Amino acid sequence: MTGSDAILESLKTNGIDYLFVNAGSDFAPLIESYAGVEDPSTFPETLIIPHECVAVGMAHGFYLATGRPQGVLVHVHVGLANAVMGIVNAHSDNIPMIVISGRTPLTEHGRLGARATAIQYGQEVFDQTGLVRDITKFNYELRYAEQASALVNRAVSIAKSEPCGPVYLSLPREPLAEEVPHGHPTGSPIKSAPSLLQPDETMIKQAAKLLADAKNPLMIVQRGDPAGGVSKFVGRMAARHAIKIVESGGQRSVVASDHPMRIPGKVDAHLPKADVVVIVDVNVPWIERHTQPNPDATVIHIGPDPLFATMPMRSYKTDLAIAGNTAATLQAISMELDMLEPETGDRYATIEAEHKQAMTALQTKAEAGNQTPMSADWVGLCLSQTMPENGLVFSERGPKIAKMLLGEGHRYFANTWAGGLGWGVPAAIGAQLADRDRLVVSIVGDGSYMFANPVACHQVMETYNLPVLTIILNNKRWNAVHFSALQVYPEGEVSKTDLSPMSDLSSSPDFVKIAEASRAYAERVENGADLPGALQRAIEIIKTEKRAVLLEINVDNAMT
C-alpha cells in the first residue's frame, strides 16, 4: 500500500463519498491508485470539475443538503488559489470539508515522485498553506507515507467538530508514491469527531428565567442545521411561549414562512423594543451603525462559539454567552421554560397579528412587481407558488428569505457575509448531486452568474445528470456596488445618477446560449405575466427530461 492508497482508503472510511477533482501533474500517484484499485468502492468517487471554485461550492451545497462533509482535490498553489474564494465562503458558513491540494515535488532526483518538468520549479512557493491558513481550522503537509491514514482521520475529525469548518491537507508527490511500511495501521478511523458540546446547566436555567420574566422577548435567527434540530426547537419554543422570531439576513431558513411568531424583514424595527434578546448562532445579528438593543435589554448569545472568535472585530452586547450545540441548547432552554410556565397574556395574539399583516404587505408588494421589467420580489413569489414542497432554493443576490414562502425550515440558502461571489450555482449543483430527484433552484444575479464560471457549471450539470433550475435576475448592473455607494454618500454625486461608476454590466452576454451550449433548456422571460408559465415549463422539463434548465429574467433595479 502506498501513501496515496492510504489517503484514499482513509477518506472513504471516514465518510467521504465524493472527491470534487481538478487535478494536475502532482497527483500522478493518486491517479495510479485509482487505475489499479481492485474494488473502486474502497475509494471516494471522483467527479471531474473544470473549475476549482465550482468544486468547493459543490462540496458546500452537498453538506447543506445532507450534513455529510465531502472532499475537494485541486492542483498545487495555482489550483488552491482558484479555490480560495469558495473556501472563504465555507469558513464563513462553518461548512466542514476536506480541501486537498498537491504540492510541488520536494526533491529534484533520487525518488519516484521527484520533479520531472520545468513547471514543477515554477510552481514552487515558500508558503503554499499561507493561502488558506487564516480560513481553515487545521492544515498539515504530509511528510511520510505512514502518516497518511492518521492524517486523514485527524483532519476529518477536526472538520466535523463544532464549530465546524474546512480543513486543508497538502500532499507532496514523494510521500504519496512511497510504500507504507509493513505492519503500519491503515483502514478504519482511529478517532471520530467529539460528542456534541452540551450547554452549561446553570446558564440554561438563567436564560430560561430571563425569558420567562420577559415582556417582549425576541429571537434572532440566521441559519438552521441539516439535521433540522435548530428549526424544530426555535419553532417549538417560540410557539409555546409567544416569542417573536426575526431572521437576520437569513442565510439558511430556520422556520416555515407561515410560522405565526415569525416576522419577515429586518431586525431594526424590533430590536430596540425587546427586553430579552436571544441570538441563535448569528455572527452578524444587526448592524451597529443602524440599530442597537435597548440599553436595559438582556442579550443572550448561543451557539458552538457564541463569541465568533474567528472574527477579528465583533463587539455586540453580550450579557450571557452559552457555548454548546445550537439545537441542544435550544432544547434545554425550551424544556426549562416549559417547567416555569411563563405567563404570556395576549402576546401570542399580538405577534400573530403582526405576522399576518407583514405577510400580507409582502405579498401585495410582490404582486405589484408583475411588470416589465419585473421585480425580484415577484420572481420570489412566483417561484414559491410553483415549486414542490421539498424543493431547495440557493439564492445569491436573489430574493431575500423574507420574500419567499416556504413550508418548512432549511430549504432556503443564501450566500454568506464573506461575500465570495459565484457560490449560488455550484452550491445548488452539489445539493442536486445529493438527491437527483429533488428540485434544486439556483436564483442569482447576472454578475453572480458570471462569477460562477457558468461554462464549467453547465458542463458539470450535463456530465453528471444534475438537472438544476438556474434563474438569472438580469438587471445589467452591479446593484450591490451602486447601493453601497449610496449608503456612504446618500446625498453625494452618486445620488444624482441612476447608475454609479464601476456598476455597468449593460453589455450583457447571451446567457441563454451559454446554457444551450451544454444542451440545457433555456429561455428568456421579459414580462412578469409570463413568468408563472415559464416556471411551470421549466419544472416539467426537469421532471420529465431530467435535464438542466436556465431562465434569464428581465428584472428592475430595486435592491433585493
* CATH number assigned to the domain with residue range 369-554, chosen from the 4 options 3.40.50.970, 3.30.70.920, 1.10.540.10, 3.40.50.300: 3.40.50.970
pLDDT band per the 50, 70, 90 thresholds, residue 192:
low
**For position 249, what pLDDT does the model report?**
78
Strand partners of residue 299: 277
Number of H-type helices and E-type strands within the chain: 18, 17
From the CB of residue 415, how many other CB atoms can be counted at a distance below 10 Å?
Answer: 23
For 115-119, the CB contacts below 8 A with 24+ separation are: 116/25, 117/25, 119/25
**For position 24, what pLDDT does the model report?**
85
Average pLDDT, the chain: 93
Say yes or no to pLDDT of 473 above 90.
yes
**For position 119, what pLDDT does the model report?**
84
Give the residue-averaged pLDDT of 407-433: 93
**For position 408, what pLDDT does the model report?**
87
Give the residue-averaged pLDDT of 445-453: 95
SS3 311: coil
pLDDT band per the 50, 70, 90 thresholds, residue 69:
very high
What is the DSSP annotation of 427-441?
HHHHHHHH-TTS-EE
**For position 492, what pLDDT does the model report?**
87
The one-character DSSP state at 169 is E
From the CB of residue 173, how many other CB atoms can be counted at a distance below 10 Å?
Answer: 29
Give the residue-averaged pLDDT of 249-276: 93
pLDDT band per the 50, 70, 90 thresholds, residue 214:
very high
C-alpha distance across the termini of the chain, in Å: 55
pLDDT > 90 in the chain, percent: 81
pLDDT band per the 50, 70, 90 thresholds, residue 478:
confident
**For position 189, what pLDDT does the model report?**
66
Q: Which residues contact 209 (CB under 8 A, 6 or more apart)?
A: 340
**For position 25, what pLDDT does the model report?**
81
Residues of the chain with CATH 3.40.50.1220: 201-353
Q: Which of 23-27, 57-61, 270-274 has the lowest mean pLDDT?
A: 23-27
pLDDT band per the 50, 70, 90 thresholds, residue 401:
confident
Using DSSP bridges, classify how beta strands 45-48 and 71-74 pair: parallel, antiparallel or unpaired: unpaired
CATH 3.40.50.970 holds for 3-177: yes
The count of residues in the chain is 560
CATH superfamily of 201-353: TPP-binding domain (3.40.50.1220)
Strand partners of residue 141: 170
Strand partners of residue 303: 323
Say yes or no to pLDDT of 114 above 90.
no
Nearest CA among 430, 479, 485, 480 for reference residue 452: 430
- Per-residue pLDDT tens over the stretch 134-161: 999 999 999 999 999 999 999 999 999 9
- Nearest-angstrom CA–CA distance, 164 and 339: 32
Q: Tell me how far CA of residue 272 lies from CA of 222, 246, 267, in angstroms.
A: 19, 13, 9
**For position 191, what pLDDT does the model report?**
63
Look up cell 417582549; give the residue.
Answer: 216
Nearest CA among 263, 227, 241, 216 for reference residue 64: 227
Nearest CA among 62, 78, 81 for reference residue 70: 62
The larger pLDDT score, comparing residue 25 to residue 456, is at 456
Q: Which residues contact 177 (CB under 8 A, 6 or more apart)?
A: 2, 3, 4, 28, 29, 111, 112, 113
Helix axes 52-66, 76-92, angle to 10 degrees: 30
- Per-residue pLDDT tens over the stretch 481-536: 877 888 888 888 888 887 778 878 888 899 999 999 999 999 999 999 999 999 99
**For position 546, what pLDDT does the model report?**
96
Residue 398 cell numbers, joined? 436573489
Q: Which of 79-83, 120-124, 480-484 has the lowest mean pLDDT?
A: 480-484
SS3 544: helix
The larger pLDDT score, comparing residue 495 to residue 276, is at 276
Residues of the chain with CATH 3.40.50.970: 3-177, 369-554
Give the residue-averaged pLDDT of 201-225: 97
Nearest CA among 14, 150, 23 for reference residue 80: 23
Asked whether 254 and 402 are in contact (CB, 8 A), the reply is: no
Give the residue-averaged pLDDT of 382-411: 91
Percent of the chain as helix, strand, coil, to the nearest 5: 40, 15, 40
pLDDT band per the 50, 70, 90 thresholds, residue 187:
low
Look up cell 452540551; give the residue.
Answer: 198
pLDDT band per the 50, 70, 90 thresholds, residue 63:
very high
**For position 185, what pLDDT does the model report?**
65
Q: Which of 107-116, 314-323, 478-487, 551-560 has the lowest mean pLDDT?
A: 478-487
**For position 64, what pLDDT does the model report?**
97
How many CA atoms lie less than 13 Å away from 286 in the CB half-sphere?
A: 24
Q: Which one-letter amino acid corresponds to residue 403?
A: K
Look up cell 450539470; give the residue.
Answer: 461
Look up cell 477518506; give the residue.
Answer: 11
Q: Which of 52-61, 167-176, 369-378, 471-480 has the lowest mean pLDDT?
A: 471-480
